[in-house]
Structure 1
Amino acid sequence: MHTIVVDLGYGDAGKGTVVDRLCVPRPDAAPVTAVIRFNGGAQAAHNVVTTDGRHHSFAQFGSGTFSGVPTHLSHLMLVDPLALATEARHLASLGVPDPLALLTVDRRARLTTPYHAAANRARERARGTARHGSCGMGIGETAAYALAHPADAPTAGDCTSRTALRRKLTLLRDRLTAAVGPLDAPPVDACLDACTAFADHVTLVDETHLPGLLRRGPAVFEGAQGVLLDEGHGFHPYTTWSTTTFDGAETLLAEAGRPHTALRLGVVRTYTTRHGPGPLVTEDPALAAALPEPHNGHGRWQGAFRAGHFDVPAHAYAVAACGGVDALAVTHLDAPARHRALRLAHGYRTPDGPMDRIPAARPGHLRHQQALTERLLSARPDRWQTPGSDPHAWTDALSAALSAPVLLESYGPTAADKAGPLAGPPRGFLAGPPAGSPAGTPTRAVSAGRATAG
C-alpha cells in the first residue's frame, strides 16, 4: 500500500521526519520505491536529522533521500531549478552521492524563477504591516501567472529548448515588471543558462513514468505546508497558493489507474504552531521559550515562529476539510514531559458566543473564509484538557479528539526516535517508546478506519 503524508496544521508538524522514517529499510516491509511530491515547491522546509547527526531541510528533494529513496517531482509541483541545484549541493556535502541522479521531474511541472520570487517579495513589502506571511520564494506568483497565462508559463520540459524558454522567460519578466515595478532578479540569459543546465542534469519524464513507478512497489506521497493553510480551506488571506490536502496525491493515483490505494496519514504535533501572521487561537508565548526549536525560527519573509497549545477545533476542521484520514502520526511526544503545562483546547470563546467547532464551507468561498478568519482572530481558547506528561495519555487524547488511530509516534528528530506499526515490526499499537523516552504503557491493538472528525 502507498502512503500519503499530510500536515493537519499550519505546517511544521514533522512531515519530513515522518517520511524519513517511512523510507528507512525494514526487514518486515517492502522497500519504498519513491517519494512523490505533489504540491508546493521550493518553499517547503522539511527538517530531517540522521542518527549520526547530519541535518538537512528538504525543500524539493523527498525526505527519504538519506535512505537512497528516489524522488519524483510530479506535474503538480512547482519546480525551482536554481533552488534545486543549491539543495543538491548541500545533500552532496552531507554524503549523498550524486543527488540529482535520484530525481525524476515531470516535464509538465511549472517552473518557479527568480522573476516570480522577486515579484512575490515586492508585493509582500508593499503590504507593510499587513503582510500575509509569504515564504518569499515565488510560489504564489508561479501559480497566479500560470492561471493567468497558461500557454506562456514556463515548464520543466521547456528547459530543453533555449528558444522556447527564452521567449517565455522574457514575457514573464516583462509582465511581472509591468505589474510590480523593476525586479531584483538576474538577466534572462543567466536564468536561461541555469534552466538548461538543470535539464542536462535531471531526468525529465512524461505522464507514463508515474504509473510504472507505482507498479514497482509502495510509494510515499510527501505533502507540503499544512491543511490549515490550504488555498480553499485555509483562513484567508493567510493561506498558500496550493492545495495542501490529500487531493493532489489522490489525483495522481487516479491518473495512474490506482485510485484510493493509499493510507491517508495525517501528521500532528503535541502543540500547535505556525509561522507568521494569521489565526493561532491557542497561542501561548511562553511555549516558544519553554520548547525551543533549533530548526524553526523567525523568517525574514514569514515572520515569527509561534506556538500554542493543541487546538482541537482547528485540527478537527482540517480532518473534515481533507475528507477524512485513516491514521495519525504524532510528533513531539517528548514535549509534554519537558513542559508539563501543555494541554488541549476543545473549544473557543468568541464575541458571538462559544464555538466548539469551526464551520466548513464550500472550498474557495473566500468571503466566508475571510469572515471566519476575523472570528478566529478574536477567539480565545476554552474547555481545556491536560493529559499530563505520559505520552500514551497524549496519543489517546489526540486519537479520541480526531477520531483516528495513532500509527506512528515520534519522540525526537531521528528515525530511531519513532515507534508504532509504521515505524517497526507489526507488534500491535506500540510496545513502548524508544530507549531513553518516557516510560510507556502496555501494548494496545488498533484498527484503521477513515476518520472524518468535525
Structure 2
Amino acid sequence: MREHMIVTDLGYGDAGKGTVVDWLCAREPVQAVVRFNGGGQAGHNVVLPDGRQHTFAQFGSGTFRGVPTHLSRFMVVDPLSLAKEADHLAELGVPDPFCLLTVDRDALLATPYHVAAGRARELARGVDRHGSCGMGVGETMAYALEHPDLAPVAGDCEEPVRLARKLRALREALGVTGPPVEDCVDAYRAFAERVILVGSSFVTALLRRRPVVFEGAQGVLLDEWHGFHPYTTWSTTTFANALELLDGTPATRLGVLRIYTPRHGPGPLVTEDAALALPEAHNGTGPWQGPFRTGHFDAVAHRYALAVSGGADVLALTHLDAPVSRMCVSYDIGELPVGRAGDLDGQAGLTERLREAGPRYADGIDDWPAAVAEALGVPVWLGSSGPTAADKVLLSGVITPERV
C-alpha cells in the first residue's frame, strides 16, 4: 500500500470494515487511522490470530498494530464510552491506548443528556422505531444543527467554565435528567488531559508522511442524505468526508461488501431470507438496533450505493467462506434513482417503493469475486474468508485507481 486509502461500507454496515483496516495496518506501515464519520455507535470487529477480539467503536481498527487513531472533526466523540473502550483494549494488551489518540477540537461531544434524549425519542416511536443504536449520536447532530453556538465540542473540555455553561443549556433544552453537570465537566477535563487535542491542520500534516487509512462507519445505504429515510444515520457515510479531509490529495476508494447483504434493525432489505441461517459471531439482536437480518447479495442496492458515493476504485469482498450462491441482479421496479441530496421526502418515497420491490435472482454463483466485479463494474482487490488478517488474500496485486 503506497497511498492513502478510504474504507467505506457499500451496504447497510457490518460488511467487515474493521477487519479490512486491521489487515491494511498489518500489511505495511501506516501513519494513522482517521475516523471520518459516526461516533460511539460503530461496531468494527477485529480478531487476532491468538483469539483476542475487540469491537472498535471510536478507536481505529489498526490499534492492535500500534497504529495511532485520529478522530476528525466529522466524528461525534463520546469520552465516557471511549474510556470504557480504552480499558478493554488495555486488558487485551494495548499499552496506554490514549497515547495512540488525537482528537480534533471541533469534533462534537456526545453526552449522557444526548443519550437520554435520543433513547426517549426512539421509545416514543413505538412500533415505528428507526433502529437507533441508543448512543445519542443523532441527538448530538440534531442539537448542533439547531444550536450551533451552544453545541459542546471536544475543545471545550479544556475550558471547564465554558463547557459547564454549554452542558447546562443542553440539559435544559433537551428536558432530560442525568448526571450532575459538575461530574460531566470533571470527566471531560480528565479526557482532555489524556488525549492530544489538535486543530484542523493536523490531518494535512499526517498526509505528508506514510499512508493514512480513513476508516468509515455504518454503510452508504444508511447515509443521512441518500439512505432509505427514515431508517438512516445522522452521518455522511459515503467517501465525501474523507475526500474533504484529503483536500485533493490522491487516495484509493475501497468499498467493502459481504457476499450476502446484512442489516441491523428495521428498514428495507429487499433480499431478506429467513432461511439464510448463517453463523454470526459478533452481531445479534441489540436492545436498540433490533435484530440482525440477512439477505442474498443485492447488486441493485450496492450499485445504488456506488452511484451516490461517486464510485469506488476497488472492492474488498468478505465472508467468502459463507455457503451462499444466489445474487439479486435486478428488481421488478428497475434500478434505484439517485435523488437530490437533502430531499428527505424523496428518500422516504424511495423507501416506500422498496417495500414493494421484488428481487430477481441469478443462482449458482461460485466465483464471487468475478460475479461481483461484473455486476458492479468495480474490480475486487481483496478477498476475506475469515475474521483475521491471515484470512485475507490479494486478488489483484496492483491498484491503478482513477485519481479523485
Q: Give the drift of 1:206.
A: 1.1
Residue 354 of structure 2 is matched in structure 1 by 376
> Which one of 200, 208, 211 corresponds to residue 193 of structure 2?
200
Partner of 1:94: 92
Consecutive unaligned residues of structure 1, counting only runs of 5 or more, are: 349-353, 422-428, 431-445
* 1:53-202 equivalence runs, <5 A: 53-177=51-175, 182-183=176-177, 185-202=178-195
Report the number of matched residues.
402
Tell me the distance in 2 between the aligned counterparts of 1:73 and 1:223. Answer: 11
How far apart in 1 are the matches of 2:361 and 2:272?
A: 15
**Equivalent residue, structure 2, for 1:308:** 295
For 1:261 and 1:75, locate their aligned partners in 2 and report how far apart those are by CA, in whole Å.
20
The answer to whether the Cα contact below 8 Å between 2:239 and 2:309 also exists between their aligned partners in 1 is yes
**Structure 1 residues 329-368: Cα deviation after superposition (integer angstroms, max 9, x where no partner):** 0000010xxx24x3101112xxxxx223111111111111
Within a 5 Å distance, the mapping from 1:258-407 to structure 2 comes to 259-287=248-276, 289=277, 291-335=278-322, 339-340=323-324, 342-348=325-331, 354-388=332-366, 393-407=367-381
* Residue-by-residue CA offset, 1:180-214 (whole Å, 9 max, x unaligned): xx43x212111111111100100111122111111
Change (3 A) 1:346 1:356: farther
Opposite residue 387 of structure 2, the aligned amino acid is: P
- Please state how far the C-alpha of 1:260 moved relative to its aligned partner: 4.5
**Helix, strand or coil at the partner of 1:132:** coil
- 1:22 corresponds to which residue? 24
Q: Structure 2 CA distance, aligned partners of 1:95 and 1:449?
A: 37
CA deviation string 1:401-434 (max 9, x = no partner): 111111111010000000006xxxxxxx27xxxx
Q: Output the amino acid matched with 1:346.
A: V
The CA RMSD over aligned residues, in Å, is: 1.5
Q: CA deviation at 1:448?
A: 4.0
Residues 110, 447 of structure 1: alpha-carbon distance in 2 compared, 3 angstrom cutoff: closer
* SS in structure 2 of the partner of residue 39 of structure 1: coil
Tell me, yes or no, if the aligned pair for 2:326 and 2:361 is still in contact at 8 Å.
no
| 1:31-42 equivalence runs, <5 A | 31-42=29-40
Larger relative contact order (Cα-Cα within 8 Å, sequence gap ≥ 6):
2
**Structure 1: which amino acid aligns with 2:376?**
L
Do the aligned partners of 2:252 and 2:401 also contact (CA within 8 Å) in 1?
A: no
Contact 1:404 1:450 in 2 (8 A): no
Instruction: Please say if residues 30 and 213 of structure 2, whose CA atoms lie closer than 8 Å, have aligned partners that are also in contact.
Output: yes
**Inter-partner Cα distance in structure 2 for 1:356 and 1:412:** 34
C-alpha deviation, 1:292, in angstroms:
1.6
Cα distance in structure 2, aligned partners of 1:323 and 1:213: 25
Instruction: Tell me whether 1:222 sits opposite 2:220 in the alignment.
Output: no
Tell me the amino acid that sits aligned with residue 41 of structure 1.
G
- Given that residues 327 and 448 in structure 1 are in contact (C-alpha distance below 8 angstroms), is that contact kept between their aligned partners in structure 2? no
Which blocks of at least 5 consecutive residues in structure 2 are unaligned?
Answer: none
Secondary structure of residue in 2 paired with 1:85 = helix
Structure 2 letter corresponding to 1:372? L
TM-score under structure 2 length normalisation? 0.97
Q: For each residue in 1:133-188, what CA deviation from the matched residue of structure 2 results, as whole angstroms up to 9, or x when unmatched?
A: 000100100101111111110111100111000000000000000xxxx43x2121
CA contact (8 A) 2:329 2:362 kept: yes
Q: Secondary structure at the match of 1:285?
A: coil
Matches within 5 A, 1:429-448: 429=396, 448=400
State the TM-score, normalizing by the size of structure 1.
Answer: 0.87
Would you say the 8 A contact 1:280–1:308 is kept in 2?
Answer: yes
1:380: how far off? Answer: 2.1
